[in-house]
């Protein structure tokens, strides 16, 4: 998240203020908080008009709040009326998907309503009016959704066009049979839906979404994905349920790649997961999802047996492995090349990153293989072995 990078240590106070304002607005209109992750909330109301009132009140409160310099928070809000399914204290079903994807199409400061929600509140408050924004395609849902924007006192009116993830022409095209298959485990509904939307737009086939590690294991057994994208901390204890599920996938379904998502750098988890095999494994910080191209590329590499480690994880491991083990023989430049190999970069990408010629990178890679005593097998297999040696220090 860009704001977190900009504010550094000050982000915690801004996030706390944001959460307070959200909960005050929700409580004032009788809402119930179902899920909260970072600055994302999923809230339910008995009356659609109360949900719209809370969303408007929240936007006004956020706009009026005295934020620190550079700390202005502007959030998207969406309201939908439906009948979600309550399963193990979690709301699931198509209506949850719909509101999450409508919200993802909006902009900070905007309040969007689905057709169903608009139909229930269009005459609820004479001070409200609604701007019709047309129909948008919601990835994975069968029909376009008419969307309107709330216009009310104190709310911003002018916004760019909605951020549509897939035009209608693309949405109607079936994915090819060879599309890579993905299962996603993340207990934040909004983040899970966002990741699914990104991957589907990039041509992946999302075969399962799970809010618990246990359900992920069921979906991996049932649908045989090429890769599982897994949050480390999941219900019920939010400690290491996702990591333990990743271990089980690696042991019982070694053909399935595993890409771990984490809120923080936890190198012990990365090392623990690797054991003696670095094929089809990745470890990214959740902030990396915001770089769509990089995230999609990482999922694709892991799904096809490669590696994808977050630059911050690699940087931490470089410091950890200094002066230890078989890496001692590597030069500083060779260690830098090996670190970028761990991120999953090709020789060409490494050359661009380090401002070297491709031939120079190939020489460094060859020297790394020789110094680590790696057998003269295929290039891809030797790269995986080299990454494993690096990550284990």
> Which CATH number fits the domain that encloses residue 374?
1.10.10.10
Cα three-residue angle 297-298-301, rounded to 5 degrees = 85
Q: Cα separation of 349 and 221, whole Å?
A: 35
Q: Are 97 and 63 in contact (CB under 8 A)?
A: no
Distance in angstroms (rounded) separating the CA atoms of residues 320 and 323: 9
Which phi-psi region, left, alpha or beta, contains residue 365 (left: φ > 0; alpha: ψ -120 to 50)?
alpha
- Can you give the residue range of the structural domain that contains 289? 174-309
Helices 332-343 + 347-354 axis angle, to 10: 130
Q: Is the pTM of this model over 0.75?
A: no
Residue 296 backbone phi and psi in degrees, to 5: -60, -40
Residue 53: burial class (beta carbons within 10 Å; 0-12, 13-18, 19+) = buried
Contact status, residue 232 vs residue 260, Cβ threshold 8 Å: yes
Pair (220, 352) in one structural domain: no
Q: How far apart are CA 46 and CA 332, in angstroms?
A: 61
160-214 residue pLDDT tens: 988 865 443 333 334 455 789 999 999 888 888 888 888 988 889 888 888 889 8
Which one of 169, 191, 212 terminates a domain? 169
Show the tokens assigned to 184.
């996603």
The strand pairing partners of 205, in sequence order, are 181
Is residue 18 domain-shared with residue 123, that is, in the same domain? Answer: yes
Q: Identify the residue whose tokens are 């992750």.
A: 37
Judge if 162 and 211 occupy the same domain: no
Please indicate whether residue 139 or residue 309 has the higher confidence score (pLDDT). 309
| Together in a domain, 81 and 52 | yes
The pLDDT value recorded for residue 171 is: 36
Whether 75 and 106 map to the same domain: the answer is yes
Max Cα-Cα span within the chain: 76
Name the domain boundary from 119, 146, 169: 169
Place of tokens 């004032």: 28
Is 229 in the same domain as 182?
yes
Distance CA 28, CA 314 (A): 46
Q: Is 113:148 a contact under the CB 8 Å cutoff?
A: yes
What is the percent of the chain with per-residue pLDDT over 90, rounded to a whole number?
Answer: 30
> Based on the domain organization, do 178 and 165 belong to the same domain?
no
Note whether 64 and 197 are same-domain residues. Answer: no
Q: What is the DSSP string of 161-197?
A: PP--SS-HHHHTSPPPTTPPEEEEE-S-HHHHHHHHH
Among 290, 309, 328, residue at a domain's last position: 309
Q: Kindly state whether residues 284 and 377 are assigned to the same domain.
A: no
- Cβ atoms of 139 and 165 closer than 8 Å: yes
- Cα distance between residue 377 and residue 259, in whole Å: 25
Rounded Cα distance between 55 and 117, Å, is: 13
Number of structural domains the chain divides into: 3
Tell me the C-alpha distance between 371 and 361, whole Å.
15
Query: Phi/psi at 141 (nearest 5 deg)?
Result: -105, 150
Instruction: Please check the confidence at residue 265 and state whether its pLDDT lies above 70.
Output: no
Give 171's contacts (C-beta < 8 A, 6+ positions apart): 137, 139
Structure tokens at 163: 């951020």
Alpha carbons 375 and 386: distance in angstroms, whole number: 11
**How many residues are present in the chain?**
393
In 101-248, at which residue ranges do the beta strands (DSSP E only) sit?
111-114, 129-136, 145-151, 181-185, 205-210, 227-231
Q: What is the pLDDT of residues 276-319, one digit of tens each?
A: 566 788 888 888 788 888 899 999 989 988 878 887 767 666 55
pLDDT in tens, 13-30: 888 888 999 999 999 999
Mean pLDDT of 138-142: 68
CATH number for the domain that contains residue 246: 3.40.50.2300
Distance CA 315, CA 196 (A): 28
On whether both 182 and 326 belong to a single domain, the answer is: no
Indicate if 78 and 159 belong to the same structural domain. Answer: yes
Residue-level pLDDT at 167: 40
Q: Are residues 149 and 14 in the same domain?
A: yes
Instruction: Calculate the average pLDDT of the chain.
Output: 82
Task: Give the CATH number, domain containing residue 67.
Answer: 3.30.70.1230
Lowest mean pLDDT, pick from 77-86, 98-107, 169-178: 169-178
Encoding tokens for residue 105? Answer: 């199409």
Residue 4 has pLDDT above 50, yes or no: yes
More confident residue, 375 or 355: 355
């Amino acid at each position: 998240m860009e704001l977190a990078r900009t504010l550094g240590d000050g982000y915690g106070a801004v996030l706390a203020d944001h959460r307070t304002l959200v909960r005050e607005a929700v409580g004032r209109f009788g809402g119930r908080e179902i899920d909260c992750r970072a600055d994302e909330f999923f809230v339910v109301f008995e009356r659609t008009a109360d949900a719209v009132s809370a969303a408007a009140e929240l936007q006004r409160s956020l706009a009026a709040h005295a934020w620190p310099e550079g700390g202005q928070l502007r959030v998207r809000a969406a309201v939908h009326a439906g009948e979600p399914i309550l399963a193990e204290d979690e709301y699931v079903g198509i209506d949850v998907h719909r509101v999450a994807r409508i919200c993802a199409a909006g902009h900070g400061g905007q309040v969007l309503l689905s057709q169903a929600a608009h139909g229930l509140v269009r005459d609820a408050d004479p001070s409200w009016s609604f701007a019709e924004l047309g129909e948008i395609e919601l990835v994975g849902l069968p029909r376009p959704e008419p969307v309107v924007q709330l216009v009310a006192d104190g709310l911003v009116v002018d916004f760019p066009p909605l951020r549509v993830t897939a035009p209608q022409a693309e949405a109607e095209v079936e994915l090819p049979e060879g599309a890579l298959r993905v299962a996603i485990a993340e207990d934040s509904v909004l983040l899970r839906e966002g990741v699914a939307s990104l991957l589907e737009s990039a041509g992946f086939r999302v075969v399962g979404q799970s809010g618990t590690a246990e359900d992920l294991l069921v979906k991996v057994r049932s649908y045989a994905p090429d890769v599982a994208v897994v949050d480390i901390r999941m219900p019920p204890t939010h400690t290491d349920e996702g990591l333990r599920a990743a271990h089980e996938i690696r042991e019982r379904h070694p053909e399935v790649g595993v890409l771990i998502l984490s809120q923080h750098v936890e190198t012990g988890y990365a090392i623990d997961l690797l054991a003696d095999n670095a094929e089809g494994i990745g470890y990214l910080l959740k902030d990396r999802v915001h770089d769509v191209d990089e995230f999609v590329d990482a999922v694709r590499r892991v799904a096809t047996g490669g590696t994808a480690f977050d630059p911050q994880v690699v940087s931490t491991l470089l410091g950890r492995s200094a002066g230890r083990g078989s890496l001692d023989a590597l030069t500083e430049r060779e260690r830098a090349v090996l670190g970028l190999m761990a991120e999953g970069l090709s020789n060409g990408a490494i050359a661009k990153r380090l401002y070297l010629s491709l031939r120079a990178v190939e020489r460094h890679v060859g020297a790394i293989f020789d110094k680590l005593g790696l057998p003269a097998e295929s290039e891809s297999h030797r790269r995986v072995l080299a990454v494993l040696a690096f990550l284990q220090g």
